[in-house]
């Protein structure tokens, strides 16, 4: 099958970019061809491949600089020109938009109405959108102000969790197919020893945006955990977001003021992440309403025990006390962190074993096959 995959910013490093990388290389390993439309790519994440063709959004002369509406119009013109050209040149059998941008489905339908088009929806709203940062979204070929009116244009909707599926149905009346994401094969190559001794280390991973609540985690660590476990360490890994530089600076300052808090503000390779997760007893994720997240699965694959919010897609992974903990409020966060740090060796090994078993479900082969099974429904016989 020849698949058109659209993602506007593969030059960044985030959950949707990594997931797109996992999917397209798994597609070609299973005998498919892929044409990718994007504004840019990181060649370390997306190396050249004989079965993958990269096509870049063609920037027409910027004629509209006077207003937000005209800037949006200009960007959409660029997209239509690019997609129309790519569809004409490559003649794909089906199209998959790897981010919740239904405008791409609309433009694909304008170009070729018969081309089956699917959306992979991470969450049906852009929770980080503000009036101030909307221009930044549009510069990145993202149009969150157009979501709701256009979702139904796509032929098929896939969502990354039941949490997301419920939101899509509640607000837009759209049924979707839940396809849980995947993590890289590297996380499954060498299974960790569930009985190994680890230091009292807590890890958290996420972009430096206020919704991730790194600042709350640091304060809870300092006030509730550190007094009980003098040797405890907290390691926070993330990348800066140009829309939230003030928040990043605040978190950085907090981390410098509190003993045994380390901030890593650069992308780490899977090998580096695996080493980090294997050093930790606990993976803590504080974002309330997180639709899903691959970092908790990566951590579980290496035997780090997750503590995640009940109000999230992440909670769908967890059987309370068996392979991690879900919390209702900030008090329960520290309660479960302390409970985990105080576990005996056998209980720790038992929980780690179920963490690793849970993570195995989120492998690239399962993910790609599920997505392909839905895409085939859109290809005429």
Which pLDDT does position 72 carry in this prediction?
83
Residue-level pLDDT at 367:
98
Task: Note the pLDDT of residue 61.
Answer: 65
The model's pTM is: 0.90
Asked whether the beta carbons of 206 and 295 are under 8 A apart, the reply is: yes
- Tell me the C-alpha to C-alpha distance, in Å, between residue 207 and each of 212, 241, 248, 259: 7, 7, 9, 22
Local mean pLDDT, 10-residue blocks, the chain (381 residues): 97 90 97 97 94 93 59 88 97 97 96 97 87 85 88 97 96 96 95 96 94 95 96 95 88 94 92 96 93 93 97 92 96 96 96 97 97 97 78
In sequence order, which residues have a C-beta less than 8 Å from that of residue 350 and are 6 or more positions away?
none
DSSP 118: E
DSSP state of 195: T
Angle at 232 between CA 354 and CA 357, to 5 degrees: 10
Q: Residue 73: what pLDDT?
A: 85
Pairing of strands 94-97, 156-159: unpaired
- pLDDT computed for residue 64 by the predictor: 47
Specify the pLDDT at position 65: 52
| Pick from 109, 113, 119, 89: nearest CA to 7 | 119
């Amino acid at each position: 099958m020849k698949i058109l995959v659209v993602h506007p910013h593969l030059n960044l490093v985030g959950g949707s970019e990594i997931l797109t990388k996992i999917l397209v290389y798994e597609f070609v390993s299973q005998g498919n061809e892929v044409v990718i439309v994007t504004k840019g790519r990181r060649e370390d994440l997306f190396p050249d491949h004989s079965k993958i063709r990269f096509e870049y959004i063609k920037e027409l002369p910027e004629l509209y600089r006077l207003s937000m509406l005209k800037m949006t119009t200009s960007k959409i013109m660029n997209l239509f020109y690019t997609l129309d050209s790519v569809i004409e040149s490559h003649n794909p059998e089906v199209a998959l938009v790897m981010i919740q941008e239904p405008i791409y489905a609309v433009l694909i339908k304008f170009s070729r109405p018969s081309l089956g088009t699917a959306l992979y929806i991470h969450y049906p709203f852009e929770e980080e959108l503000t009036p101030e940062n909307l221009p930044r979204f549009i510069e990145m070929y993202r149009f969150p102000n157009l979501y709701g009116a256009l979702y139904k244009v796509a032929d098929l909707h896939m969502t990354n969790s039941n949490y997301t599926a419920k939101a899509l149905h509640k607000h837009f009346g759209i049924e979707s197919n839940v396809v849980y994401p995947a993590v890289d094969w590297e996380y499954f190559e060498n299974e960790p020893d569930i009985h190994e001794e680890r230091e009292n280390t807590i890890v958290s991973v996420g972009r430096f945006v206020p919704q991730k609540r790194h600042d709350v985690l640091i304060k809870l660590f300092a006030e509730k955990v550190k007094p009980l476990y003098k040797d405890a360490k907290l390691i926070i890994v993330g990348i800066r977001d140009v829309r939230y530089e003030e928040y990043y600076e605040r978190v950085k300052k907090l981390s410098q003021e509190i003993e045994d808090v380390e901030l890593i503000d650069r992308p780490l390779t899977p090998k580096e992440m695996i080493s980090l997760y294997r050093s930790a007893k606990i993976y803590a994720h504080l974002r309330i309403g997180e639709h899903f997240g691959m970092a908790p699965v990566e951590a579980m694959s290496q035997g780090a025990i997750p503590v995640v919010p009940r109000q999230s897609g992440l909670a769908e992974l967890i059987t309370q006390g068996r392979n991690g903990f879900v919390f209702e409020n900030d008090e329960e966060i520290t309660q479960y962190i302390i409970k985990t740090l105080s576990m005996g060796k056998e209980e720790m090994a038992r929980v780690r074993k179920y963490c690793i078993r849970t993570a195995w479900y989120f492998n690239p082969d399962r993910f790609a096959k599920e997505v392909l099974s839905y895409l085939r429904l859109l290809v005429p016989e």
